[in-house]
Amino acid sequence: MTNMFPATSERDHPRVSVVIPFLNEEPIVDLFFEETLPSVVELGVDYEIICVDNGSTDATLDHLLMWRMRSPEIKVISLSRYFGKEAALTAGLDYASGNAVILMDPDLQDPPEMLRSFVEHWRSGYDMVYATRRSSGIESPMKSWLNGMFYKVFNFVSEIGIPSRTGDFRLIDAKIVEVMRHTREKSRFLRGLATWAGFKSKAVMFDRPERRKGKSKSNYLFLWGYALDAILSSTTRPLRIWTYIGFGISLAALLAAVALILRTALFGKDVIGYASTMVTILFLGGVQLLSIGIVAEYIGRIYREVQNRPLYVIDRAFGLETGRVPPTFS
């Protein structure tokens, strides 16, 4: 039977695919390639750069096509609309032909000079090399605290933890890419999928620089939705936690009922205070609504899975092998 994974010896003569999602990055596209292309060329390996335009409404796609005219190693996938960052990265992974794939953002907060370190560690035997932020001078104290809380909550409720202060910037071996290609759930969290796949991994520490141009798309509302998707797509433990909470509240209510019965039997009737009654009712109502909301989130994800719509829709593709890109759907 033919092995679906590349042989280890292929790391001596690798082909590296660099996958970058773009969304309204017109101000920084030129600067990104001016700094990233030399770093990729200096790797001294066969390479391709797959740029996924995620429904940009500015001239991002035009700039990408201009750079493709200068360098045919740059390949461009244009999605029909915005499908989310995870879907854009998935599109790049689906059409990457390298036996190592590097995921990075175009904002230059993922330093291109780190690519050499990624490849060196990969050649030494690691299947995944990820960049972990030692420090970041751009985050507000609130955003930094929320970021840290996300990793703590995720690692508490998830069966498989992910490294803290680690984004999508990483190199993954083709065998991990193959696993990720075969996991087609609609609510995707690629960092979790890459960790779930297992294999030998290595962290590379770095100080994250400031964004040079343009604006970040990650506002608080986006980050909240992203964190919710990440947690609920990676584990069902929140459902079990609320089962335990419900059991605890029921047990407390039973003990309170026994205490009231005994008190009434021993000391006669007692008038229960209105305030305590209302607090109890409101508390239990809030717990019920919250638990129903969590169940509803999971049901909504089941609904999306049953619909079985494609993860993304390709409008146009430039530079990919003939016949590899379906005319409409992924």
DSSP secondary structure, 225-293, as one string: HHHHHHHHTT-SHHHHHHHHHHHHHHHHHHHHHHHHHHHHHHH---PPPHHHHHHHHHHHHHHHHHHHH
pLDDT at residue number 289:
73
pLDDT at residue number 270:
57
Per-residue pLDDT at 215 exceeds 70? no
Task: Please count the other Cβ atoms lying within 10 Å of the Cβ belonging to residue 46.
Answer: 14
Backbone angles phi, psi at 54, to 5 degrees: -95, 55
pLDDT at residue number 137:
55
Locate 104 and state its tokens.
């990075």
Confidence of residue 4 (pLDDT cuts 50, 70, 90): very low
Q: What is the CATH number of domain 15-234+310-318?
A: 3.90.550.10
CA distance 72 to 324: 17
Ramachandran category for residue 130: left, alpha or beta (phi over 0 → left; psi -120 to 50 → alpha): beta
Range of lowest pLDDT (109-118, 131-140, 307-316): 131-140
* pTM summary value: 0.75
Across-strand partners of 173? 100
Per-residue pLDDT at 159 exceeds 60? yes
Confidence of residue 6 (pLDDT cuts 50, 70, 90): very low
Max avg pLDDT among 162-166, 228-232, 317-321: 317-321
Mean pLDDT of the chain: 78
Residues 310 and 245 sit within 8 Å (Cβ to Cβ): no
**Three-state DSSP class for 78?**
strand
pLDDT at residue number 209:
75
Locate 315 and state its tokens.
């409008």
CA distance 113 to 40: 9
Give me the mean pLDDT over the 6-21 stretch: 75
Per-residue pLDDT at 323 exceeds 60? no
Give all strands of the β-sheet with 74-79 in edge-to-edge order. Answer: 201-208, 128-136, 166-173, 100-103, 15-22, 46-53, 74-79, 314-318
Locate 63 and state its tokens.
């700039």
Give me the mean pLDDT over the 58-71 stretch: 91
pLDDT at residue number 165:
77
Q: At what angle do helices 141-157 and 220-232 cross, to 10 degrees?
A: 10
Confidence of residue 110 (pLDDT cuts 50, 70, 90): confident
Residues 32 and 67 sit within 8 Å (Cβ to Cβ): no
Nearest Cα residue to 161 out of 191, 202, 135: 191
